[in-house]
Amino acid sequence: MKNIFLFLLALMAMQSCNTSQLPAVAPNVITEKTVNDTDDPAIWVNPMDASKSIVFGTDKETNGAIYAFDLNGKILEEKSISDIRRPNNVDIAYGFAINDTTKVDILMFTEREKSQVRLFSVPDMKPLDNGGFPVFADEKNPEMRLPMGVSLYKSSKDQSIYAIVGRKTGPTQGYLYQYKIVANDKGQVNAELVRKFGKFSGKKEIEAIAVDHELGFVYYSDEQHCIRKYYAEPSMGDVELSCFGGENFKSDIEGIAIAQYPNGEGYIIVSDQQRGQFNIYSRKTNAFVRAVNLSTLETDGCEVVTVPLNDTFKSGLFVAMNDEKNFYFYDLEKLGIE
């Protein structure tokens, strides 16, 4: 009798967190649990053997970490980064030039309680930042120096790599800061502020940021207002291109993932957090396409790649944070967007 009671309580809790009326789609893989509070994933595709790709995920607390998972959802202790003070969001970029002859793939994440971002090489997980790069350093109010979201952008014009960083709170104009990641002739890496841009409604906060590298756009979630769209290339200016999707969400607009296909085709997948589903938009037009219920609870971050990885993820991989200290992995065809 006690077991039945506990089961009913658990079922009621799940239903209260996921109110989607759509049929629930089960994940292919559920990861091992983290210690504290999962938030945001990033996927590194191994160029030598895609089956050995790594999913990184933040564990958001003062004694936080960046967990590394294999494609079976097992924690890779040797690739994980511990003792991080509230890591929030994480992203990956490929081919950062350390010098004229050496390029590395990189992982960047925000470390909120130290008001900085961190930079590591992948897959050897070596720090490249000498302990961290301060962000929003010109803000006098310490509350406005607490970073949350981050997305890396690799320019198609000159292959420069930029970090676009959001924060817990900020002004109605210039909420995001964009930093160019540069290495000097000695291989020392730094982050140089190149612009401040982006509107903010003032309703809640801005956390989720995602970049369409090929088309050169950056999207971010103004959480209870809309999905905002700007040029990712600093030289293209700071005019807002679109503010869309707000009517499709129950409350918070959260994680953004961009599924890129050839010829500009693809989809923008955004977490409708309180409804427990994901809203899907056309990459070309930003028009609403459909919603899908992936059975997650209170999803913050999500990420996607559209290349085959192994026999489980034959069409690509979609990763979503789940509010039970874990991440859900899906073969991309389960979202019905191929």
pLDDT score recorded for residue 100? 85
pLDDT score recorded for residue 186? 84
pLDDT score recorded for residue 17? 67
Distance CA 198, CA 171 (A): 9
pLDDT score recorded for residue 8? 39
pLDDT score recorded for residue 187? 84
Nearest Cα residue to 197 out of 214, 217, 224: 217
pLDDT score recorded for residue 218? 98
pLDDT score recorded for residue 291? 97
Distance CA 283, CA 337 (A): 11
**What backbone torsions phi and psi does residue 81 show, to the nearest 5 degrees?**
-120, 120
Peptide bond into 123 cis (omega under 30): yes
10-residue stretch averages of pLDDT, the chain, 338 residues long: 43 60 95 98 98 98 98 98 98 95 96 98 97 97 97 95 97 98 92 98 97 97 98 98 97 97 96 95 97 95 98 98 97 91
Question: Is 105:88 a contact under the CB 8 Å cutoff?
Answer: no
* Tokens found for residue 258: 């961009």
pLDDT score recorded for residue 7? 39
Whole-angstrom CA distances from 58 to 97, 107, 148, 170, 261 are 25, 12, 11, 23, 27
In this structure, what DSSP letter does residue 144 have? G
Nearest Cα residue to 180 out of 198, 206, 154: 154
pLDDT score recorded for residue 10? 44
**CA dihedral defined by 215, 276, 221, 169, rounded to 10 degrees?**
-150
Which domains can be identified in the chain, with CATH numbers?
25-251 (2.120.10.30)
Question: Is 144:167 a contact under the CB 8 Å cutoff?
Answer: yes
pLDDT score recorded for residue 20? 87
